[in-house]
Amino acid sequence: MVAALRLVDVTVSYDRHPAVHHVSAEIPAAEMTAIIGPNGAGKSTLLKAMMGLTPHVEGRIECGARRIAYLPQQAEIDRSFPISVFDTVLLGGWTRFGGFGAAAAVDLHDARHAMEAVGLAGFEQRSIATLSVGQFQRVLFARLLLQDADLVLLDEPFAAIDAKTVADLMAVIRRWRDEKRTVVAVLHDFDLVRRDFPNSLLLARELVAAGPTQQVLSTENLRRARAMAEAWDEHASACDEPVRLSA
What does the DSSP assignment read for 132-184? -HHHHHHHHHHHHHHH--SEEEEESTTTT--HHHHHHHHHHHHHHHHTT-EEE
Q: What is the model's pLDDT at position 55? A: 82
Residue stretches of the chain with pLDDT short of 70: 97-101, 232-247
| Euclidean distance between CA atoms 163 and 229, whole angstroms | 29
What distance in Å separates the CA atoms of residue 154 and residue 68, rounded to the nearest whole number?
A: 11
At 229 the pLDDT is 85
* C-alpha span between 200 and 183 (Å, rounded): 11
Residue 80, CA atoms < 13 Å, CB-side half-sphere: 3
Q: Tally the C-alpha atoms within 13 A of residue 44's C-alpha that lie toward its C-beta.
A: 13
- Check residue 86 and give its pLDDT: 97
CA dist., res. 58 & res. 49, Å (int)? 10
pLDDT of residue 17: 78
23 with 46: CB under 8 angstroms?
A: yes
Residue 112 CB: number of other CB atoms within 10 A? Answer: 17
Q: Which domains, from first to last, does the chain contain?
A: 1-67+189-247 (3.40.50.300)
pLDDT of residue 52: 92
**Is the CB of residue 220 less than 8 Å from the CB of residue 34?**
no
Cα 13 to its chain centre, rounded Å, is 19
Q: Is 149 left (phi over 0), alpha (psi -120 to 50) or beta?
A: beta
State the chain's maximal CA–CA distance in angstroms: 56
The strand pairing partners of 84, in sequence order, are: 127
d(CA 79, CA 85) in angstroms, rounded, equals 11
Distance CA 19, CA 131 (A): 33
